[in-house]
């Protein structure tokens, strides 16, 4: 079946550091790929998505590129802020059903 | 995208009781989903709720424990029945929003934080 694997957290960074959160997937067919973010005490917000190979999703300074050859969708940001502290979920949709990774907690210190 | 609200936002309940969670969307949507997020965990799909048909439950979830209603295209409820402390979780509803132009993308409500004592 479909699956998503994320790097385990927590990831602790200083403000303005570079962020990478790794995400790899296994799926039949050609899934759409997503990053969702969950701020403390809140629900999930869609951060970005990509629907086909080599697409780059971007939002709020975050980027992720759909790499079919490596089945990856790593999340990156060039300079994190304290306000980026949250849990990040990678997910795929291969046919009306979202499959989530385990989530990665990011903590950004001033 | 669609605006989704949930009630209640949080609750503390006694074991053996039931709680009904409401999910309201500001536009008509075909597919609504209910998820559970246990403490410190990822999301697990409970069921898919389509208007006019019975909900479709995922493996490990049964209608007697999690009855779902979908009376119209903007509203759904999830009931957590005969609760035990193991039911303490965040329960989230989500929708696919046709107005957003994509049927592969789900948008989530703010969640209901349930604690069972």
Distance, in angstroms, between B15 CA and closest chain A CA? 24
φ and ψ at residue A12, rounded to 5 degrees = -115, 125
* Window B:2-31, CB contacts with A under 8 Å: 6, 31
DSSP-derived letter for residue A85 is -
In this predicted structure, the answer to whether residue B100 has a pLDDT above a threshold of 70 is no
B98: confidence class by pLDDT, cuts 50, 70, 90: low
User: Is the peptide bond prior to B27 cis by the omega test (within 30 degrees of 0)?
Assistant: no
Q: What is the mean pLDDT of each run of 10 residues along chain A (110 residues)?
A: 91 97 92 95 93 95 96 97 97 88 96
pLDDT, residue A29, reads 81
Q: What is the pLDDT of residues B46-69, one digit of tens each?
A: 999 988 888 999 999 999 999 999
Q: What is the pLDDT of residues B8-19, one digit of tens each?
A: 999 999 999 999
pLDDT, residue B58, reads 94
Q: Which residues of A touch B48 (CB under 8 A)?
A: 96
Give the containing element (helix H, strand E) for B24: strand B19-25
Task: Kindly state the percentage of chain B with pLDDT values over 90.
Answer: 79
* Cα-based distances in Å from B37 to A38, A102, A106, B43, B97: 12, 11, 18, 5, 22
* Arithmetic mean of pLDDT over chain B: 92
Quick check: B45 and A43 CB within 8 A? no
Distance, in angstroms, between A78 CA and closest chain B CA? 26
pLDDT, residue B67, reads 96
Give the residue from A48, A78, A37 showing the smallest Cα distance to A61. A78
Quick check: B108 and A43 CB within 8 A? yes
pLDDT, residue B101, reads 66
φ and ψ at residue A83, rounded to 5 degrees = -70, -10
């Amino acid at each position: 079946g479909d699956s998503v694997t994320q790097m385990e957290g927590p990831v602790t960074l200083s403000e303005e550091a570079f962020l990478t959160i790794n995400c790899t997937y296994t799926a039949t067919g050609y899934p759409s790929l997503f990053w969702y973010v969950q701020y403390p005490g809140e629900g999930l917000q869609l951060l970005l998505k990509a629907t086909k190979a080599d697409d780059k999703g971007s939002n709020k300074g975050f980027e992720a590129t759909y790499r079919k050859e490596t089945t990856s969708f790593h999340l990156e940001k060039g300079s994190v802020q304290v306000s980026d502290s949250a849990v990040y979920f990678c997910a795929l949709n291969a046919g009306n059903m979202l499959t989530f990774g385990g989530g990665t907690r990011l903590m950004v210190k001033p | 995208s669609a605006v989704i609200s949930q009630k209640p936002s949080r609750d503390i309940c006694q074991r053996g009781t039931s709680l009904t969670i409401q999910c309201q969307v500001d536009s008509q949507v075909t597919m609504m989903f209910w998820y559970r997020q246990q403490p410190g965990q990822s999301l697990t799909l409970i069921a898919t709720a389509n208007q006019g048909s019975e909900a479709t439950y995922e493996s490990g979830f049964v209608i007697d424990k999690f009855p779902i209603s979908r009376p119209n295209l903007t509203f759904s409820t999830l009931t957590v029945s005969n609760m035990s402390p193991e039911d303490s979780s965040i329960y989230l509803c989500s929708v696919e929003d046709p107005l957003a132009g994509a049927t592969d993308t789900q948008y989530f409500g703010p969640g209901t934080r349930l604690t069972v004592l």
